[in-house]
Structure 1
Amino acid sequence: MLAYVYKSLKKADTYVYLAGRDELARLPEPLRAQLGELRFVLEVALTPERRLAQEDPAVVRANLAARGFHIQFPPTVQDPMSDDWGTDA
């Protein structure tokens, strides 16, 4: 399965995977408005062997098959001060 990846120019580190090139009409209008302008960045074959840096390829393929799109939001950052550093006595 091929996926076409677009970067949101309005939302940092947010990407849209589409089942078809330039099929932006698949996105619901409220979502398109939030994402702003999208710029094409990558065409990728999502084979079962393919690994993605921040997404589960099986989930991406399932969303593309069901909806025609998948949204990759920025990773959440955990507050390092909430970690247990083992310094409490």
Structure 2
Amino acid sequence: MKCSVVRSSLKDYTYIYLAEEQDFDDLPSALKNTFGTPEAVLELDLHPDRKLAYEDVNEVMKNLAEQGYHLQMPPQEDETGLLDLPAK
């Protein structure tokens, strides 16, 4: 399953995976307004064995098939500090 990934211009560490046939302009208005201008990051070919850094590939593929996009929010803070993100 081919998709593209765009980064939010307004929210750090927030990304949208778009199904190959999905256009950012077709997303719900509320999502587009809070996301800001999309910045292209990469193109991916997803399959069940593919590893993603913060997302479950099967959940991403399910959302792409059902709604045409998948929203990736910033990782939650963890007490171990292993997932802490660099300060911007």
TM-score for both structures, normalised by structure 2: 0.84
Q: Percent identity?
A: 40
Give unpaired runs (5+ residues) of structure 2: 81-88
| 1:7 equivalent in structure 2 | 7
For the residue of structure 1 that corresponds to 2:70, the secondary structure is strand
| 1:44 equivalent in structure 2 | 44
For the residue of structure 1 that corresponds to 2:34, the secondary structure is helix
Amino acid of the structure 2 residue aligned with 1:56: D
For the residue of structure 1 that corresponds to 2:4, the secondary structure is strand
For the residue of structure 2 that corresponds to 1:41, the secondary structure is strand
TM-score for both structures, normalised by structure 1: 0.83
Amino acid of the structure 1 residue aligned with 2:26: R
| 1:25 equivalent in structure 2 | 25
* Matched positions, count: 80
Amino acid of the structure 2 residue aligned with 1:39: E
- Larger Rg belongs to: 1
Alpha-carbon distance in 2 for matches of 1:72, 1:40 = 14
Aligned CA RMSD, in angstroms, stands at: 1.5
